[in-house]
Amino acid sequence: MTRDKHRLEAAVAAPRWAVDSEREIDGMLRPTLTLFLIGAKCPFHCIYCDLGDAMIDGTTPPGSLPEQIRRGIATADTPCATVKLYNASNFFEKRAVPIADDLAIAELVSDFERVVVECHPRLIGERMERFADSLSGTLEVAMGLETIHPDALPQLQKSMSLDDYDRAAERIEMHGCSHRAFVLIGAPFVPPASSLEWTIKTARYAAERGARLISLIPLRPRAGSTVAMQAPSLTEVERSLEGALQAAPDSIVQVDPWDLAVLSACPNCRAARQHRIVQMNLSGFIPAPIACPDCVASG
């Protein structure tokens, strides 16, 4: 409990945040504030996820998240159209986010046009609808789809079926909200030879179910895992983004850029490929391929 207390005190004293540009459907770039909130660990135990390592073992105390949000917004002090309240868990799970805090949180984010929260598809229900109704802006729910590979998805220990995702996406849309999907590049248990194919298929699936934004996330191998995991190469990420952009033309498709620098790549074209990925993220267009004579994956 002492560790939990220290983590919460640190989160309030120095909230983590980042400001990035996100592309809209119309191609415009808009500043987005992400607040990394500390609270209760996720009750689901996805084999690839290490986000809970920095969370607390107990229940999030009432008032802690509103204070983290208040201080985070004040510290960032940057006008943004969108705020992402990412708590490495499920926003509509009462251990992670006390129900008593919902109205206070809604008031704190009243200046934002879009409020993004993350949640497991099985926890999308009446609380989501009430929270959406309390906001001045539009609610967007980020959900982990990961992969639609029929053998791999059940082994990820997400406790989720594609039917669960479909029902959640439909309920979100019926209530006038939007959703974004997280899709893994290099999902565990997907045969490496067909990994690119299934990443693109998964992006298309999300788009067909109304995902406004599809975020492709390169797999980060989890330390100590008993399951074989390997991060994709930079070229695999590049090709996944190209394919997903073509497969989901009516959605915003982007790669999570935070770990690109650590992915394996040809040293002679690494910088150029990273730049090309960023170009695709920001524009939604596919630039000319990179010709690298020293890279077997050239072009």
Does the pLDDT value for residue 80 go beyond 90?
Answer: yes
Query: According to the model, what pLDDT value does residue 223 have?
Result: 67
Query: According to the model, what pLDDT value does residue 75 have?
Result: 96
Query: According to the model, what pLDDT value does residue 297 have?
Result: 46
- What pTM was estimated for this model as a whole? 0.95
Q: What is the average per-residue pLDDT within 75-103?
A: 97
228 pLDDT band, cuts 50/70/90, is: confident
Average pLDDT of the chain is 94
Choice between 230 and 296, residue whose per-residue pLDDT is larger: 230
Distance CA 104, CA 144 (A): 26
The number of C-alpha atoms within 13 Å of 199 and in the hemisphere containing its C-beta is 32
For residue 272, give every residue at least 6 positions away whose Cβ sits within 8 Å of its Cβ, in sequence order, or none: 290, 292
Q: What is the average per-residue pLDDT within 274-283?
A: 95
**What is the tens place of the pLDDT at every residue in 168-191?**
999 999 999 999 999 999 999 999
Q: Where are the beta strands (DSSP E) in 125-237?
A: 138-146, 178-185, 213-218
Q: At what angle do helices 195-208 and 234-247 cross, to 10 degrees?
A: 30
CATH architecture, domain 2-283? Alpha-Beta Barrel (3.20)
Does the pLDDT value for residue 135 go beyond 60?
Answer: yes
Query: According to the model, what pLDDT value does residue 250 have?
Result: 96
229 pLDDT band, cuts 50/70/90, is: confident
Distance CA 232, CA 222 (A): 13
Does the pLDDT value for residue 224 go beyond 80?
Answer: no
Distance CA 176, CA 2 (A): 42
Q: Are 238 and 218 in contact (CB under 8 A)?
A: no
For 55-69, 172-186, 283-297, which range has the lowest pLDDT when averaged over its residues? 283-297
Q: How do the domains of the chain map onto residue ranges?
A: 2-283
